[in-house]
Amino acid sequence: MNVFAEKFDDIKIFRFEVPGFEKLSLKKKLFIYYLGQATIAGRDILWDQHGKYNLYLRDVLEAIYLSNPQKEGEEWESFEVYLKKVWFSSGPHHHYSTEKFTPEFSRKSFKEWLNNLEEGVNKIKKEHLSPGNISILEKMIFDPKFHSKRVNTNPAEDMISTSANNFYEDVTQGETESFYKELRSKADNKKLSFGLNSRLTKVNGTIKEEVYCIKGKYGSAIEKIHAYLKQAAVYVENNEQQIVLNLLIEFYETGDLELFDQYCIKWVETLGGDIDYINGFIETYGDPLGIKATWEGVVQFIDIEETKKAEVIAEYAGWFEQNAPVNPTYKKDEIKGISLKAINAVVLGGDCYPASPLGINLPNAEWIREQHGSKSVTLTNISNSHHKASLSTGFTEEFTLNSEEVRLEKEYGAISDNLHTHLHECVGHGSGKMMEGVTSESLKSYGSVIEETRADLYGLYYMYDPKMTELGLLPNMDAAKAHYNGYIRNGLLTQITRIKLGSDVEQAHMRNRQLIARWVYEKGEDQVIKKVVENGKSYFVINDYEKLRILFGDLLNEIQRIKSEGDYEAAKQIVESYGVKIDQDLHREVLERFEKLKVPPFTGFLNPNYTLVNRDGEIEDVIVDYETNYSDQMLYYSKEYGFLKPAF
């Protein structure tokens, strides 16, 4: 299999292999197949959540792409790149910075392409080409002030009205916060994740929720997800999986958050079986208030060998909790239901496609995590593809001062990265407790950054603990040093290659990494970590790994306090001070060095193709192949899984 598919702009696209799929029983293959169909079926939901006019934009761009016979010239090449970026981000805003793309083709060329469109081409209807709608479309593409940012996290502004996402309509931030505060105060069950699966809108002066369910918002797409899940339920591996899947099916019928919590609890408690999945409205990174969740899906089956390591970490979850450098007040008295598996991703969907996470820890509801535990997974086939792709680019050599550091990265980088992901997901996200009355929404727009910082710090602190070699999780302490080197290098230097000069750090995970790296660099007073400039190039070199670990522990103690107490002002201060702003001279230097490497900083993945094999009306096999390219898969998904109508 050719892993590399293509690259464009700042993105490279890979295929990922699913080792062992062919050896699965037919029943397991069919379970995976229908779960996979349910995963792809939610694609349109994310597009619409990312922006009110995104589906309309996609329809027109794809129609132009399919109908234009003159696929050549600079203008057309620029159009293709723009379309591919829109596909990648499920809309016209960058998937990391959330800033709107600037087209490299002209308005004149776009109008010519539009004039060649006819009703009936692709999905084009009369409404697509009306003057009023075309005006909106042109503003979407060419007006930098119209829907300029998908997620605005600037607390000095009304973050709802200045964000282009489609979670809210005609309501202000203040109205939203008041609405959910009152809703929670009147509810019998105050633990619910209010607003998680709904759009908030104002109708005739009254604020109402449009709930995501079969008979509600996104009903036509959810109906398809629901149908595929019912087909998958025929092939479950055990009774526990049947119960869990039935709860998810019922949740999609009603949109009832009580049912969603029941589903999450049963999902956490169901540990048997080789196949698992994530399907639903999960992460709240796309909402600056951290209330509304985007739709996502992943289908996975167990990587047996790597899971053996993961299970050791889960087994020692209590030890990790009790030995953390954190105030005992904020520690769990008892660790419940912690599980960790290494898995192979089989199908990615929604907010996990084409840009995939490396690890996942769910559920997000703090009270469920404290009372029932959490389930963590590391996507080993995705992680391994990332690492293999990085070894031949010259990237590490460019931003590393000495050959010994390069050697450590190449020898131990993959091992240590996987371990940190295990620790981040299981120990990090699975640890700590909230004080009475504190909820996940207390930190508002800073909640996601603080939570990711907390999880990363747990991983970093324990990475250099001798317990890692004692348990056989690392071969030696050089592997831990390799990870410390890589983390500081990324947090202070290499991750800013993903950001345009003059811009702030916006994405939660990037803010988290810069916050940690800058904080320990500053507190180490240039002794623990030293900045070295040679031949006009900046490097950061760790002088004392033991002291660096202590600093990670000190920061973890404070971040856990902020999380547990819901200290919004402290969260704001530490994130804004360390996680947002970039030294412009350093940024300019890093971008110039990176440009010479010609390596796109972002990575996405194509799904394998799964096909049912029928003989005499009976399904006898499911075969997997990897023979697809980026444009073909995107167009196929739009055609076969385009279940929502665009807004005009």
The answer as to whether 405 is a domain residue is yes
The pLDDT value given to residue 553: 98
Q: At residue 360, what is the residue type?
A: I
Same domain, 621 and 561: no
* Alpha-carbon torsion (229, 234, 240, 241), positive or negative: negative
Look at strands 359-362 and 529-534 and give their pairing.
unpaired
The answer as to whether 284 is a domain residue is no
pTM of the model: 0.84
Same domain, 95 and 134: yes
Please give the tally of structural domains in the chain: 2
The CA distance from 634 to 131, in Å, is 28
Same domain, 553 and 619: no
Q: Residues 507, 515, 295, CA angle at the centre, nearest 5°?
A: 25
Same domain, 339 and 476: yes
What are the DSSP E strand ranges found in 204-245?
206-211
The pLDDT value given to residue 478: 98
The answer as to whether 2 is a domain residue is no
The CA distance from 366 to 430, in Å, is 9
Q: At residue 280, what is the residue type?
A: G
**CB-facing half-sphere around the CA of 556: CA atoms within 13 A:** 30
Strand order in the sheet with 275-281: 275-281, 295-302, 339-350, 375-379, 359-362
The pLDDT value given to residue 384: 79
SS3 content of the chain, % helix, strand, coil (to 5): 50, 15, 35
212, β-bridge pairs: 217
The answer as to whether 239 is a domain residue is no
Same domain, 43 and 88: yes
Find, among 4, 194, 9, the residue nearest to 89 by Cα: 9
The CA distance from 61 to 185, in Å, is 46
Which residue range is the domain that position 352 belongs to?
303-602
The answer as to whether 193 is a domain residue is no
The answer as to whether 429 is a domain residue is yes
Same domain, 371 and 488: yes
The CA distance from 42 to 223, in Å, is 10
Same domain, 627 and 597: no
4, β-bridge pairs: 14
The CA distance from 285 to 282, in Å, is 10
The CA distance from 226 to 401, in Å, is 53
Same domain, 481 and 617: no
With both helix axes pointing from N to C terminus, report the angle between 54-67 and 107-115 in degrees, rounded to the nearest 10: 70
The answer as to whether 156 is a domain residue is no
The CA distance from 480 to 270, in Å, is 33
The CA distance from 154 to 550, in Å, is 32
The CA distance from 125 to 317, in Å, is 57
Same domain, 482 and 625: no
DSSP readout, 546-591?
A: HHHHHHHHHHHHHHHHHHHHT-HHHHHHHHIIIII---HHHHHHHH
Question: Is residue 63 helix, strand or coil?
Answer: helix
The answer to whether the beta carbons of residues 482 and 413 sit under 8 Å apart is: yes
Question: Is residue 610 helix, strand or coil?
Answer: strand
The pLDDT value given to residue 392: 73
The CA distance from 530 to 406, in Å, is 17
Same domain, 590 and 625: no
Question: Is residue 276 helix, strand or coil?
Answer: strand
The pLDDT value given to residue 72: 86
The answer to whether the beta carbons of residues 377 and 425 sit under 8 Å apart is: yes
Same domain, 58 and 91: yes
Same domain, 552 and 502: yes
The answer to whether the beta carbons of residues 200 and 231 sit under 8 Å apart is: no
The answer as to whether 463 is a domain residue is yes
Q: Which residues of the chain have pLDDT under 70?
A: none
The answer to whether the beta carbons of residues 422 and 378 sit under 8 Å apart is: yes
